[in-house]
Structure 1
Amino acid sequence: MHADRIPVADALYGEALELLHEHRAASVALLERHRGIGLDMAEALLQRIARETTAVRRLQSGLYLYTHGPIGEELAALHGFVQEVLAAIANDTVDVDQLRAAAGRFGLATRHQAAQTRLPERR
């Protein structure tokens, strides 16, 4: 059975998420070892956590990256911004001011904003 077709109980999901936060890591082996579950169930848990939270991201290699905290927040902001940029490109409506505004909505400083907020140099 494929991992994406295995139903995951909410209690097990919550326990797995707590475990990942405790170890600040995300791997199939970690879940197998600490929860006593099989490979397919561990993979299904990580897929669901990656789909429903920003705490875990699945890499192209198939491995998982724990991204909770500041890095997760930054990745989520970048993801949102990139989605807006791609939508603008697909609709052929790329506008610099709109993209700057989108960057601001996602908490990303543009070079223009960074130059305006730069502190004066000390002598």
Structure 2
Amino acid sequence: MLADRIPIADALHGKALELVHEHRAASVPLLERHLSIGPDMAEALLLRIARETTVVRRVQSGLYVYTHGPIGEELAALHGFAQEVLVALASNSVDVDQLRDAAGRYGFSIPHQAAGNATVAVPLCLAQVVNV
């Protein structure tokens, strides 16, 4: 991808980051319009911001999402926990107790039930995968 190979001045990066915070949005057209740059440079700036900060995330469709504040923290926690689940699944060594510990490290609540069976407050799709 061309945007990965474009050198970016730190001053331009700083201006782009300020714009993203000011508008609470992240898009190629936003940066093009306000910084008077082309689409490749705007894409390169957003890729760098997404790579170096938690302010912006690039989603599968190629669009960027402003994730500063609580939503960003929640997304980072969910991403971290999901990565641990995926690693456990890939290694074929799913240990429910380790996954419960991981859930706790990422701030998910783990209510204990009388029968000793605990459920983790994570999205249903992950809970079904690990059968917790």
- Fold-level similarity (TM above 0.5): yes
Aligned residues: 115
What is the match of residue 101 of structure 1? 101
d(CA) in 1 for partners of 2:112, 2:69: 27
d(CA) in 1 for partners of 2:36, 2:14: 15
Does 1:47 pair with 2:65? no
d(CA) in 1 for partners of 2:39, 2:83: 33
Q: Deviations over 1:35-63 (max 9, x none)?
A: 11111100000011111111111122111
What is the match of residue 4 of structure 2? 4
Q: Structure 2: which 5+ residue stretches go unaligned? A: 120-132
Residues 9-24 of structure 1: matches in 2 within 5 Å? Answer: 9-24=9-24
TM-score normalised per structure 1: 0.86
Query: How much identity, in percent, do the aligned residues show?
Result: 77
What is the match of residue 29 of structure 2? 29
Where 1:71 maps in the other structure, the secondary structure is helix
* Relative contact order, higher structure (CA 8 A, sep 6+): 1
Deviation at 1:71, TM superposition (A): 0.5
TM-score normalised per structure 2: 0.80
What is the match of residue 90 of structure 2? 90
Aligned-pair Cα RMSD in Å: 1.9
d(CA) in 2 for partners of 1:52, 1:94: 31
Deviation at 1:111, TM superposition (A): 4.7
- The one-letter code of the counterpart of 1:64 is Y
Q: Structure 1: which 5+ residue stretches go unaligned? A: 116-123
Where 1:3 maps in the other structure, the secondary structure is helix
d(CA) in 1 for partners of 2:24, 2:12: 18
Deviation at 1:4, TM superposition (A): 1.2
What is the match of residue 129 of structure 2? none
